[in-house]
Amino acid sequence: MKLQWAEPLVARVTAGLVRLLASTWRYRVAGWEHVRAARAAGRPIVYLLWHSRLLPLIHSRRGEGVALLISRHRDGGYLAELCERWGYQVVRGSSRRGGAVGLRGLIRYLQEGTEVGTTPDGPQGPAERVKPGALVAAQHARAFVIAMGARASSAWWIQSWDRLCIPRPFATVDVVYSPPLEIADGKDGLRRGIAEVERALHDVTYGGEEGRGTGDG
């Protein structure tokens, strides 16, 4: 028998433990001038980040009211509760479940002037391959796309499809933002945009290092 009654308790306990761990992290930020420039241009912003770096990056932007697209899967429910506790607005959906609903939600927030964020390789991979949904939203809303990356001085790496990064207590986390990218109209613009965003995400996540999980302690 599934103990569904226990799930809210598990979510609250997990959120509390993660919040306690995250409170020990120290952040260094590079590229914030790109965010300022995009905001000064008066255009909406879509932040894209690899699923593996989700935890330190959402903690770094807590309390700002950014809207996040999160899977309708049960595990996504735990993440959604954590994000709401950290001050995010949550849109439920993904490329697999509720994709059209999630896409419309992102476009609506962008058109209202709210910054949005999502993991273009989520919710279940393939890891570090951009799916087009968020870029389609950026096309419709004429939004800038900014890639976000994180590197931790010391971290645990979970043996999951994305190899989730959990910085260890008191780790230093370097957060990097790319220059704003524009996604041109049409299928050709989308195809070029996917390639550009993948390169930008690699650069901000790994810097001069090659390969997944390197350069993170």
Distances (CA, A) of 155 to 26, 170, 171: 13, 10, 7
In whole angstroms, what is the distance from residue 145 CA to residue 134 CA? 9
What span, in angstroms and rounded, lies between the C-alpha atoms of 53 and 44? 23
Environment class of 123 (CB within 10 Å of its CB; exposed 0-12, middle 13-18, buried 19+): buried
Per-residue model confidence as pLDDT tens digits over 177-207:
999 999 999 999 999 999 999 999 999 999 8
pLDDT at 44 over 60: yes
- Alpha-carbon distance values, 153 to 34, 80, 150, 157, 207 (Å): 24, 27, 10, 13, 14
pTM for this prediction? 0.88
Tens-place pLDDT, residues 115-162: 999 999 978 889 999 999 999 999 999 999 999 999 999 999 999 999
What the block records as the tokens of 87 is: 């001050």
**Complete domains list, the chain, with CATH:** 4-206 (3.40.1010.10)
Residue 30 has pLDDT above 50, yes or no: yes
Average pLDDT in the chain: 88
Say what the pLDDT of residue 9 is: 65
What are the residues whose beta carbons fall under 8 Å from the beta carbon of 78, sequence distance 6 or more? Answer: 10, 11, 14, 15
Say if residue 39 is exposed, middle or buried (CB neighbours under 10 Å; 0-12, 13-18, 19+): middle
Query: For the packed helices 7-22 and 74-85, what is the interaxial angle rounded to 10 degrees?
Result: 50
- Contact (Cβ atoms closer than 8 angstroms) between residue 167 and residue 27: no
CA–centroid distance for 145 within its chain? 12
- Reduced to 3 states (helix: H, G, I; strand: E, B; else coil), residue 114 is coil
Residue 31 has pLDDT above 50, yes or no: yes
